[in-house]
Each structure stands twice: as structure tokens, then as C-alpha cells.
Amino acid sequence: MRIDQYLSAVLPQFSRGFWKKVLTTGSVHVDGRRVSQCSRSVRTGQRVEVFLDGLPLEKHLIDARQVLFEDENLLVLNKPAGLDTQPTPSRFQGTLYQGILDYLGRGKGAGRRPEIGMVQRLDRDTSGVIAFSIHPRAHRSLSEQFRHHKIRKTYLALVSGKLENEQGEFKSNLAKIRAINRVRSVARGGKPALTRYRLVLAAGGVSLVEVELVTGRMHQIRAHFSEAGHPLCGDIRYDGVGRLHGLDIPGQLLHSWKLSLAHPVTGQALDLKAPLPRDWLPLLEACGFPAAMLRNLVASD
């Protein structure tokens, strides 16, 4: 029997198309050896192992505290760090997308199936405001606002060192370099990227920066600050430190702070904000940031 047929038979909740994608990521082993071809045969007695990113496939449950705005067209959430936005070939459960499906289906009977539009993405370790269309009539308008840079996206980032200028911008063409699994500026090709920033405060060898993401390229903020010599704290992939003032940093310290947009159906101006995660506080306090400023950043409006 083919390996994709076998996996579909023993785990029928996933399609053969899903298993094809999982196989191409190298997440399936037969007798201890990685298998990437769907046509590979397996027989009785062989040991088949599937590695879905090493984490338990637990559902992410959305509660009311995460919801920043909701109506029949639009859902805006405060995403926690450490959570994938969308399913990957090796992971569906435990993603924000799956959580939204469950959340919208709770107590709603057999009505219209929610149609979630992915118009914005945040990296796994990036927290904060993220918007989804949940009705087809809203998706086109929201997509066009993002495509034409009509939505204002403001982030908070903690970067290494003290910025030379209190405000400025990074402008380059960015491309993914597969050989090093990073995004970086290139002289030819790539996609135009523009990042504006303003220094909030520098203390303890780091800078808290307010960042406006004018374009929305993959890893744009991470790549631009790394190339400027100020990588995000915790961003090991882009040369950031993993430990500061005796404290471990679990992932890049980047937070989607504010999102300003027009409602995709009514046109109403919406200004949405997600408070800074409280797990940033011990590190910011250790760096010497004023307590009053930190209280304002983590307080909900």
C-alpha cells in the first residue's frame, strides 16, 4: 500500500492531499528513515512515525478577552505569542485559524458555515492585533485595504542596542533566501518593503521602538532591524540575543499593537489596540524601563 493511502486510512480525518504536504516536509518516517514520496510502499510490520512539529495537537480555545471587535463581517483578535496563525502541512489543531472555526461555531447551530478570510498574518512568536473577514462580502474590501496599504499597522518591538536616530525608515527590496532560511535585502528582484520607526525609550542596552509597517512582507520588521545592527531581542534566526539581564527570551519580542482600518462593509473608522503582553514586563523592568510607562502599555482601554 502507498504511504499516503495508508496514512489516510488510519487517520481518515486528514485527506490524502494533507498527507502529501506532510510527506514533503519530511515529517513522516518509516522504520526510522525519512520518507517524502507519496508513492513509497509500506507493508505489515513496518513502523510508521509522524512528527507534527513535536507539539501535542491540542485545540486553541478563543475566549472573550481575546476579542477586540466582532460582528457578522469582521473579527479582530488579540493573538498570543507562540501560536501559529494558520494551518501548516504538519499542523492544523492548535492554530488560531482552527480556534476561530470553533469559536464561530459555538452555540450557533447549523447556520451558515463561517468563511474565514486570511487577510493578515502574524509570525508564530508575534503577538497582538490581527483581523479576519468572516463573510465573503467583507473579504474583498478588507483585502484591498491591505493590498493598497490603506490600513495603518503599528507594532512595538524591543531591539538590541540604542538607535542612532529617534525616528527614521528602512526601505529596500526583500527576498527569501532559502539556503539560509532568512529574508534579506537584495539588489535585484525581491519585493519593495518600507518600515518606519520611532524610538519610544532606550534603557539597559535595548530600545523599545514603535514601528509602522507600511508594506507587509514576510519577516519585514525582523529583517530590516537585523540589517541595521539592531536585531529584535529573542530573534535567534536574525541574530538576536536569546538571553538578557539573566532572563531567557522565548521568541522575538514583537507585538502588533494598533490596527486602524475602515470597516469592510459599513466604512466606519476602527482603531483597535492590543495591550502589551504581561510576560514582557519582567524583562522590561530588568532593563530599567519606568514602571508608570509599562503600566500604561499593558493596560486595556
Q: What is the CATH number of the domain that holds 35?
A: 3.10.290.10
Residues designated catalytic: 123
- Looking at the domain assignment, is residue 58 inside a domain? no
pLDDT single digits (tens) 58-84 = 678 898 899 999 999 999 999 999 888
Are 141 and 258 found together in one domain?
yes
- Looking at the domain assignment, is residue 121 inside a domain? yes
pLDDT, mean of each 10-residue run, the chain (301 residues): 89 78 77 80 87 60 93 96 78 77 71 76 95 92 92 98 96 93 94 97 97 96 98 95 92 97 97 96 95 86 53
| Domain count along the chain | 2
pTM of the model: 0.80
Are 8 and 124 found together in one domain?
no
pLDDT single digits (tens) 237-252 = 999 999 999 999 989 9
- Looking at the domain assignment, is residue 25 inside a domain? yes
Are 238 and 275 found together in one domain?
yes
Are 152 and 187 found together in one domain?
yes
Domain ranges, residue 30: 3-50
**C-alpha separations of 137 from 4, 41, 133 in Å:** 37, 46, 9
